[in-house]
Amino acid sequence: MSNEEITVSFFTFTLESLKIIAGAFVGATAAFAFERRKKKDDEVERQKNVIVETQFALASRINFVTGVNKGSLNEHKDNPLRWIKLLPLEIHPVVPKIKIDELVFILFSKDANLLSEINLIDEAFDSFVGAMKRRNELHLDFQNHPEKPNPNFEEIMTALTDGIYKYSEDLESSIEKTMSLLLDLIKTGYKNGKGLSLDPVEASHSKDKAKDTN
């Protein structure tokens, strides 16, 4: 084989090798880009899902608060003796957990304070339920042992009762506002974003329910 033929063969081999390497590189790059895009799409979908889950958890809380209002609180709202007239309250809140740790991405949204608001609502709801439970205990203890009243019974019951009414009012307004902000976030921040919205008619009557909207 002549030197010329060897040279041609070498360059042909080199060219084919480069084609193989280039093809492998392009394939790897495409695969990496696809995987990166998939991870991004998966994260976007996760964020949308957790927003809707949070809305549902908030709606469950406002439904519980509304039920307590209609069932007990409204009747004695303006009664100066509500601290004792208000009977023990039924407490059976079945509400989904709010996953604060999965909502951290909200800190990078246009309304970063929204995460703090959601956390405050979660804590206020727990305090609302806790105040009702404590008041129930004191009320029942007084009914069962009227001969041994706590010397600070009226003061404690008044504080707990007033707190329950205050929590109720604050929770309704703050949940309504936060639900609206979350709906705006998912609609404006995500393509084809859908969320839950409090029914405008029900909202004017203590926001009884949530429904799916486009």
CA distance 171 to 6: 85
Read off the pLDDT of residues 45-74 as tens digits, 9 standing for 90 and up: 899 999 999 999 999 999 999 999 999 999
Read off the pLDDT of residues 14-26 as tens digits, 9 standing for 90 and up: 666 666 666 665 5
Question: Quick one: pLDDT at residue 194?
Answer: 76
Question: Quick one: pLDDT at residue 154?
Answer: 92
CA distance 69 to 89: 10
Residue 82 has pLDDT above 50, yes or no: yes
Question: Quick one: pLDDT at residue 198?
Answer: 67
Question: Quick one: pLDDT at residue 4?
Answer: 56
Domain-by-domain residue ranges, the chain?
A: 46-213
DSSP per-residue codes, 48-109:
HHHHHHHHHHHHHHHHHHHHHIIIIIHHHTT-TTHHHHSPPPP-----PPP-GGGGGGGGGS
Query: What pTM, to 2 d.p., does this model score?
Result: 0.75
